[in-house]
Chain A
Amino acid sequence: MAGTSGFSVSGYGPRRSAWARMAARDSILRKLDWPLLLSAITLSLIGSLLVYSATRNRNSLTHGDQYYFFIRHLMNAGIGLALMIAVIWLGHRTLRGAVPILYGLSVLLMLAVLTPLGSTINGAHSWIVIGGGFSVQPSEFAKITILLGMAMILASRVDAGDTEHPDHRTVAKALGLALVPMVVVMLMPDLGSVMVMAVIVLGCLMASGAPKRWILGLIGAGVVGAVAVASLGILDQYQLNRFAAFANPSLDPAGVGYNTNQARIAIGSGGLLGKGLFHGTQTTGQFVPEQQTDFVFTVAGEELGFVGAGFILLLLGIVLWRACRIARETSELYGTVVAGGIIAWFAFQSFENIGMTLGIMPVAGLPLPFVSYGGSSMFAVWIAVGLLQSIRLQRPIAA
């Protein structure tokens, strides 16, 4: 077989079999960050089981096919994996050139959501229904284009060797770039995604070495803004209650308070080893709403216990640890900023998602990376994994 192939990576090297090439020291496969990849795959697989457990009895959602969400989740993960390979194959540097196009595309898609093309699912007007049971959430992809766009702007002069760190002008330009999609998402309104985007912006800024005052200024502005919103009566009392209900479920007992309370009961009742997969009473009894998406972690907590839920935390930790390593070890700033944005994104979204099920964060509709059911989110996080792998591989710009 090896002899029939006319293709070789290097014109100077000896011909090698496909297996040998893959196992070779300089092969892409050998250089991939396997802990990162395996953790992400494991999380996706665990996610498929949890999603299955949460949906197999929800006939109104599955229309009688109890494997509907299970298969979909696996399909999404498979597509995600393919997207990752595509991103690795293209390389992040190649994508750097395409950032303006991607950015423009994502903003246009999000604007389309605001037109009659958009749909409201679970209270968030952030979807475009394609048909055939498929729908896209453009804001998930906007997270990627924001961090790619910011990285492009922030690193362009530094990587060119003009300055050591991004100057104020560059930072302002980068913020301007991020602001456009954030405003659009705000209009949907999808506050959770806006928060993630803001954290991505912060992550990018920090990783880029931008002046401290920008970072602290942004954090300060966020705090002042939040206090102003809360105290100036812009929000109704019920909205504030809904926000605060994570800490005190009695503030919104029928809504958010019910969710957080049932989520806490589900997780708490799991104990050390859990009630066993598919044996959670809270899960089987459908006491926790949105359990296959935003509250998927409660299934793990109830059915797999502290050990299983802790294992998910551990896997997320490995993903983030590898991402940090990649950010530290890459040579050019562009990669560092992209990785920084991804770390901020994954970390914040995981913390917010799990934190709300544990009752330490307010309830916001954010999926748990890899684990929650949802195509757009799954694709986006796998693209991000592809970007991380690509940064690690340091592949040159494709010809």
Chain B
Amino acid sequence: MSNIPETGRTPRVKIRVITIQVLVFSLLLTLGGRLWYLQIRNGQQYTQEANNNHVQQVVKPAVRGSIVDDRGVPLADNATRLVVSANRTALLKQPDDGKAVLTRLAGILGLNAADVMDRVRLCDAKTPQPCWNGSPYQPIPITDKATTKQALQIMEQREDYPGITAEPTAVRSYPGPVGVNAAQVLGYLGPVTDKEVAASEKTDNPLLRSDNVGRAGLESEYDQQLRGKSGVTRYEVDNLGRVIGKAGATPSQPGSNLVTSIDSRVQALTEKELAQAMKNLRKQFDPVSGENFKADSGAAVVMDVHTGRVIAMASNPTYNPNVWTGGISSADYKNLTDKKSNYPLLNRATQGQSAPGSTFKVISTSAALDAGYPEDGGYPCTSSMNVGGRTFKNYESESFGDISLAKALEVSCDTVFYGIAYDQWKKDGGIHPKNPKDWFFKTAHQFGLGKKTGIDLPNEVAGRVPDRQWKQDYWDANKASWCKNGKKGGSYVEQIEYENCKDGYQVRPGDSLNYAIGQGDTLLTPIQEAVMYSAIANGGTMYEPSIGKAVLSADGKHVTPIKPKVAGHLPDSKKSISYINKALAGVVTSGTAAWQFGGWPQDKITLHAKTGTAEVAGKQTTSWLATYTKDYAVIMTISQGGTGSGGSGPAVRKIYEAMYGIGADGKVNPKAGILPKPLTSLPKIGSDGSIDAPKLKPYSPPKKKEPVDPNASADPNATANPNASPDPNASGQPAGTGGGTQQVAAGPPATLPRRD
């Protein structure tokens, strides 16, 4: 080894090599440190990013639950349509990116091949419509109008159509059994908004951009229950988006079914009778306005008085709810929302409010009894009454002498209630009230007026009780405009505004007189009326009205009953209630409704009624008819429909006859009736969770002779007073059309037609 020199170990070389070594190891340490930083310190963040990278979700929407009637007959259901979809991932695996497949497909479906290809391309800033705006992993629908034959062709030649599926897909439909429409009760679905999607992101059932949600009616109110949960399949994909594996799947959970208290046959009949009544009215001449009745809108409610459940709810004008299926066309939407349409989307039973007319007198009677006025007080039913220099007339200046409260209800005598109201007004301090008892206002509130009933339908309106507080608020809100425009001794409107400006906050004697007979500024909805009369029928309990009866899980295993909720109790004593009951039965036998109920089997099925004819400034009168038996309350109202008994009497009678099975001869045959007793049980549920629905035939009345056409002149009614239409905006009336004050100022019109 001596021939090997030690030239490699000079001090300089040694130092150099050590320097190299130090450099090398500092580089390695740098790498180690950076590795720690990425993997340990920021590992979580990169794990998240890696997951976002390679996992894609495909969402399968849940099947929406059905809405069924009390017997299980579907009112809102899912229809199946054959949807042909293309799977991009599978298409892109084709050598020509699926062009040949799509061309073949277009041929079978009879579509333009270029259109089909455009449909499956992904949207971006440069791509014009049509293009696919959803997830590229979601099957892209090509058409939802495939025929069975086309679908079979595709599915039988799988190898020719890789990535193409033809599957039945659910779309919402409203089958309308036995002619049911119920468009406003059922509501409709509409696409979600970006805002809703964002808001739902953090909930346990987030909405998808492709989702539809309930936008009105029961579809909206019970949306959460009906919607179910979308299923999500998570796929692992590679850098080109090709699916390389499944990362897990959550199956979709179908939505629950909603059992309602709606009875299809009663509902269909109620709708039909309401429409028929309005049709008949339009053929009738109204001597007051000098033209035929317009009968522009109406509503009817049938309620189970023991529970507050709604058995039927009709609103007219109406529309076909199936226009919403698969997305509404802009023309259809315009038709539904245009002014000319008279807003068929509105549910007049819960969103229409008007002055109740004489149907309000049960409240006035209760108030009088509670205030201590005796039942048989010998109240003078004079032809007119003078208060504050004005004359308040009875209908057609009728007079009945000194009568009881019951008789006053029966014949709907205004002057009796004027007298009591004026007496109370004076006791409360008149123009300058001192600790007023306000029996009449208080009782109206106790009857649930001026606040929402809480029915399970969205956007209910509250109505109005024009009490002292409201008068003050209304004056505060309007005095500036009144005082600006009002002029003493000016035109009619200017004179009113002048007076309103001066003392519009006061409850003047005329106000309390009008109020006592349900005229003036009072507004209520048909559903409020139904709750109030149901309470009288059942002995005093007011229920929160409801349509939903139970929510059934899709598998039928979980039944969540929706129990009737007590909203309050009438202020009346048992004695008062039975007194009013008797009086209202008298309305049918010998009162204002008697002429419509000739031959009614009152001994078997005791019917009670109160008629109402409410005046509306510038319009024909609103007809009201509130009726009840021991089981049912039926309310019907028709805007610009004349008198309560005349407009709605025959229709309401037919509804009762069908429900109880009353023949033309007045015989009661419960077997012929479509609902002689309210149903308390839920429909039968099959082992697979499906609801057994009986096959129903629409009610057809037993053959009888042509019913007597109601004759306007035979109607023994009348009333003075203005106000309110079933327009939901009525609460914000402009000064010129509002208020009993005007009525007082102007005096009653010269000719007053009829009232109830």
Is this pair of chains taken from one and the same complex?
Answer: yes
A265-B46 contact in complex given A286-B239, A306-B35, A313-B35, C-beta closer than 8 Å = yes
Partner of B14, one of A328, A332, A347: A328
A268-B45 contact in complex given A281-B236, A285-B244, C-beta closer than 8 Å = yes
B489 close to A (CB within 8 Å): no
B114 close to A (CB within 8 Å): no
| Chain A proximity of B574: nearest CB distance (Å) | 75
| Chain A proximity of B458: nearest CB distance (Å) | 46
* Residues A267 and B16 in contact, CB atoms below 8 Å apart: no
* Residues A340 and B32 in contact, CB atoms below 8 Å apart: no
B566 close to A (CB within 8 Å): no
* Residues A313 and B17 in contact, CB atoms below 8 Å apart: no
Q: In the docked arrangement, what's the CA distance between A324 and B47, Å?
A: 38
* Residues A313 and B31 in contact, CB atoms below 8 Å apart: yes
* Residues A327 and B24 in contact, CB atoms below 8 Å apart: no
Q: In the docked arrangement, what's the CA distance between A266 and B17, Å?
A: 36
* Residues B50 and A333 in contact, CB atoms below 8 Å apart: no
Q: What B residues does A206 contact at CB under 8 A?
A: 16, 19-20
Q: Count chain B residues whose beta carbon lies closer than 8 angstroms to a beta carbon of A.
A: 49
* Residues B46 and A287 in contact, CB atoms below 8 Å apart: no
A309 close to B (CB within 8 Å): yes
Q: What B residues does A57 contact at CB under 8 A?
A: 238, 244
* Residues A306 and B40 in contact, CB atoms below 8 Å apart: yes
Q: What B residues does A203 contact at CB under 8 A?
A: 20
Of B5-13, B58-66, B653-661, B667-675, the one with at least 4 CB within 8 A of chain A = B5-13
A284 close to B (CB within 8 Å): yes
B39 close to A (CB within 8 Å): yes
| Chain B proximity of A272: nearest CB distance (Å) | 6
A42 close to B (CB within 8 Å): no
| Contact digits for A343-361, partner B, Cβ 8 Å, 1 yes 0 no | 1100100110011001110
| Contact digits for B28-67, partner A, Cβ 8 Å, 1 yes 0 no | 1011101110111011011101110110000000000000
| Chain A proximity of B142: nearest CB distance (Å) | 29
A317-B39 contact in complex given A328-B17, A328-B18, A351-B31, C-beta closer than 8 Å = no
Q: List 26 A-B contacts (CB under 8 A).
A: A57-B238, A158-B7, A161-B5, A206-B19, A207-B20, A269-B49, A272-B40, A285-B237, A285-B244, A305-B39, A313-B35, A320-B24, A324-B20, A328-B9, A331-B4, A331-B8, A332-B5, A336-B17, A343-B21, A344-B20, A351-B30, A355-B30, A355-B34, A358-B34, A360-B30, A394-B1
Q: What A residues does B238 contact at CB under 8 A?
A: 57, 284-287
5 A-B pairs with least C-beta separation: A268-B46, A269-B50, A336-B8, A285-B238, A333-B7
A118 close to B (CB within 8 Å): no
Q: What B residues does A47 contact at CB under 8 A?
A: none
* Residues A332 and B20 in contact, CB atoms below 8 Å apart: no
* Residues A282 and B54 in contact, CB atoms below 8 Å apart: yes
* Residues A354 and B17 in contact, CB atoms below 8 Å apart: no
* Residues B43 and A271 in contact, CB atoms below 8 Å apart: yes
Q: What A residues does B43 contact at CB under 8 A?
A: 268-272
Number of A-B contacts (CB under 8 A): 180
A381 close to B (CB within 8 Å): no
| Chain A proximity of B113: nearest CB distance (Å) | 30
| Contact digits for B572-594, partner A, Cβ 8 Å, 1 yes 0 no | 00000000000000000000000
Q: What A residues does B45 contact at CB under 8 A?
A: 268
Q: What A residues does B27 contact at CB under 8 A?
A: 347, 350-351
- Which residues, 32 to 71 on A, are CB-close (under 8 Å) to B? 57
* Residues B28 and A310 in contact, CB atoms below 8 Å apart: no
A250 close to B (CB within 8 Å): no
A330 close to B (CB within 8 Å): yes
| Contact digits for B245-259, partner A, Cβ 8 Å, 1 yes 0 no | 100000000000000
| Chain A proximity of B25: nearest CB distance (Å) | 7
Max chain A Cβ within 10 angstroms of own Cβ: one of B13, B47, B49 = B13
* Residues A284 and B236 in contact, CB atoms below 8 Å apart: yes
Q: In the docked arrangement, what's the CA distance between A158 and B54, Å?
A: 60
**What is the predominant secondary structure among interface residues of chain B facing chain A?**
helix
A281-B8 contact in complex given A57-B244, A206-B16, A336-B13, C-beta closer than 8 Å = no
Q: What B residues does A270 contact at CB under 8 A?
A: 39, 43
Q: In the docked arrangement, what's the CA distance between A60 and B678, Å?
A: 73
| Chain B proximity of A193: nearest CB distance (Å) | 19
* Residues A335 and B8 in contact, CB atoms below 8 Å apart: yes
B interface, CB within 8 angstroms of A = 1, 3-10, 12-14, 16-21, 23-25, 27-28, 30-32, 34-36, 38-40, 42-43, 45-47, 49-51, 53-54, 236-240, 244-245
Q: Which residue of B lies closest to A317 (CB)?
A: B28
* Residues A264 and B40 in contact, CB atoms below 8 Å apart: no
| Contact digits for A188-228, partner B, Cβ 8 Å, 1 yes 0 no | 00000000000000010011110000000000000000000
* Residues B16 and A281 in contact, CB atoms below 8 Å apart: no
Q: Which residue of B lies closest to A282 (CB)?
A: B50
| Chain A proximity of B126: nearest CB distance (Å) | 16
Q: What A residues does B25 contact at CB under 8 A?
A: 317, 320-321
A15 close to B (CB within 8 Å): no
A384 close to B (CB within 8 Å): no
A268-B42 contact in complex given A331-B4, A332-B4, A360-B30, C-beta closer than 8 Å = yes
Q: What A residues does B3 contact at CB under 8 A?
A: 396
A347-B46 contact in complex given A57-B244, A267-B38, A272-B40, C-beta closer than 8 Å = no
- Which residues, 222 to 279 on A, are CB-close (under 8 Å) to B? 262, 264-272
Q: Which residue of A lies closest to B18 (CB)?
A: A328
* Residues B6 and A268 in contact, CB atoms below 8 Å apart: no
* Residues A285 and B239 in contact, CB atoms below 8 Å apart: yes
* Residues B239 and A331 in contact, CB atoms below 8 Å apart: no
A155 close to B (CB within 8 Å): yes
A167 close to B (CB within 8 Å): no
* Residues B54 and A324 in contact, CB atoms below 8 Å apart: no
* Residues B28 and A316 in contact, CB atoms below 8 Å apart: yes
Q: Which residue of A lies closest to B46 (CB)?
A: A268
Q: In the docked arrangement, what's the CA distance between A331 and B4, Å?
A: 7
- Which residues, 73 to 127 on A, are CB-close (under 8 Å) to B? none
Q: What B residues does A161 contact at CB under 8 A?
A: 5, 7
* Residues A360 and B34 in contact, CB atoms below 8 Å apart: yes
Q: What B residues does A316 contact at CB under 8 A?
A: 28
Q: List 19 additional contacts besides A268-B49, A270-B43; criterion CB under 8 Å.
A: A57-B244, A165-B12, A264-B38, A268-B42, A268-B47, A269-B43, A271-B43, A284-B238, A286-B238, A287-B239, A301-B39, A305-B39, A313-B35, A320-B25, A324-B20, A328-B14, A333-B8, A336-B17, A360-B30
* Residues B8 and A306 in contact, CB atoms below 8 Å apart: no
Q: What B residues does A359 contact at CB under 8 A?
A: 34, 38
* Residues B32 and A310 in contact, CB atoms below 8 Å apart: yes
Q: In the docked arrangement, what's the CA distance between A161 and B5, Å?
A: 8
| Chain B proximity of A191: nearest CB distance (Å) | 20
A290 close to B (CB within 8 Å): no
Q: What B residues does A347 contact at CB under 8 A?
A: 23-24, 27-28
Q: Which residue of B lies closest to A300 (CB)?
A: B35
| Chain A proximity of B673: nearest CB distance (Å) | 68
Partner of B54, one of A281, A327, A328, A394: A281
A340-B20 contact in complex given A209-B13, A285-B244, A287-B53, C-beta closer than 8 Å = yes
Q: In the docked arrangement, what's the CA distance between A392 and B243, Å?
A: 53
Q: In the docked arrangement, what's the CA distance between A200 and B116, Å?
A: 61
| Chain A proximity of B372: nearest CB distance (Å) | 84
Q: In the docked arrangement, what's the CA distance between A267 and B50, Å?
A: 10
* Residues A265 and B49 in contact, CB atoms below 8 Å apart: yes
| Chain B proximity of A197: nearest CB distance (Å) | 17
Max chain B Cβ within 10 angstroms of own Cβ: one of A264, A270, A340 = A270
Q: Which residue of B lies closest to A333 (CB)?
A: B7
* Residues A209 and B10 in contact, CB atoms below 8 Å apart: yes
Q: What B residues does A360 contact at CB under 8 A?
A: 30, 34
Q: In the docked arrangement, what's the CA distance between A265 and B54, Å?
A: 11
Q: What B residues does A282 contact at CB under 8 A?
A: 50, 53-54
* Residues A324 and B17 in contact, CB atoms below 8 Å apart: yes
Q: What A residues does B46 contact at CB under 8 A?
A: 264-265, 267-269
- Which residues, 170 to 203 on A, are CB-close (under 8 Å) to B? 203
Q: In the docked arrangement, what's the CA distance between A315 and B93, Å?
A: 42
* Residues A272 and B39 in contact, CB atoms below 8 Å apart: yes
